[in-house]
Structure 1
Amino acid sequence: MLAPYISFGIFLEILKLWLKGFETIVLDIPLLFEAKMEKQTNPIIIVWVDPETQLQRLLSRDETAKEDARNRINAQMSLDSKRNKADMLIDNTVSLKDLNEQFRRLLFQVHKAFDMD
């Protein structure tokens, strides 16, 4: 199983960035909950999309068979379940411009929350 090695590599990179003075580090970990890494991250921000859009995007990105794409999606925790465990949400059913704006607002909220500590 590669998960422990991947987790170690992620934490090593986080440590390097922290030592360089970075205060905010964004991690893109699709299997965050499956890898049981959610306790080491704060806040948890989920990028959510409805299941049909998720399937269509996977099909167009990977040019894979529909059955294979469904199997890949079903092998993971559903985005709805992840959404229920998240601290914050980015809705990925909107335009790229709106998606970027959501990210900027969330990043501002995160910085503001940690500046108060």
Structure 2
Amino acid sequence: MSSPSPFPAAPRRLGVTGSIGAGKSTVTALLRARGLTVLDADEQAREATREPEVLARIGAAFPGVVRGGVLDRAALAAQVFGDADRLATLNAIVHPRVRARMLALEAAAAARGEAWVVQDVPLLFEGGLERQMDGVLVVDAPLETRVARVAARSGLTREEVLARDARQMPGEEKRRRATVVLDNGGSLEALEVQLDAALARLGVTGR
């Protein structure tokens, strides 16, 4: 008879993604309210770029974007937006640290005895990460609704929002790959009903 492992079992992973303006943040807030730990890839990327070693590598690769020891995110975005090669260079610097940070947070959740964690990853499908998930929720909404939301919160023009949307995987392809699609084109109450049904179907439980 084998002895029990001294290491806690890794939690199962629920991926959450969606097109720009679909309301992914609303869904992750609802998941937190249901007792689930949400690991935010964008937040971890911001934290990673505050690490001195990462900051130094970014500064060397993209002259002028680090000023006074602080990353000028707008200047960096201007250098990589629309340039696949420069974006790949940035990702090669940042993504390994993001993965390491996410794994550390996941290990902490395992130590707390959590059966599931949520991974909030905007480019989950684009990065091929769906294969690492036990289920994927895709948050969606009609295009005009999404454009209006982004324009209202960011001040971007319609054309700028559409340009950013066009650089992501098309919504119909995300829906096709999803385990469950959440329609966030209506009320919050309707979204909550869909979310609770999805969690029940997948057997996802909070703490």
Question: Does 1:47 pair with 2:139?
Answer: yes
**Could you give the per-residue CA deviations for residues 42-79 of structure 1, whole angstroms, max 9, x where no partner exists?**
11111111222221111112121222211111111122
Find the residue that maps to 2:156 and give its secondary structure: coil
Greater CA drift, 9-18 or 102-111: 9-18
Please report how far the alpha carbon of residue 7 of structure 1 lies from its aligned counterpart in structure 2 after TM superposition.
2.8
Please report how far the alpha carbon of residue 36 of structure 1 lies from its aligned counterpart in structure 2 after TM superposition.
1.7
Gap regions ≥5 residues in structure 2: 1-90
Show the counterpart of 1:66: 158
Taking only aligned residues, the RMSD between alpha carbons, in angstroms, comes to: 1.8
1:55–1:70 CA contact under 8 A, matched in 2: yes
Structure with the bigger percentage of helix: 1
Greater CA drift, 9-18 or 89-98: 9-18
Greater CA drift, 26-35 or 2-11: 2-11
Aligned length: 113
Question: Does 1:36 pair with 2:128?
Answer: yes
Gap regions ≥5 residues in structure 1: none
% of aligned pairs identical?
27
1:43–1:87 CA contact under 8 A, matched in 2: yes
Query: Within 5 Å, which residues of 2 pair with 1:15-30?
Result: 15-30=107-122
Find the residue that maps to 1:21 and give its secondary structure: coil
Kindly indicate whether structure 1 or structure 2 has the higher relative contact order, using CA contacts under 8 Å at least 6 residues apart: 2
TM (normalized to structure 2)?
0.50
Computing the radius of gyration over CA atoms, which structure comes out larger, 1 or 2? Answer: 2
Q: Which 4+ runs in 1 deviate beyond 4 A?
A: none
TM (normalized to structure 1)?
0.85
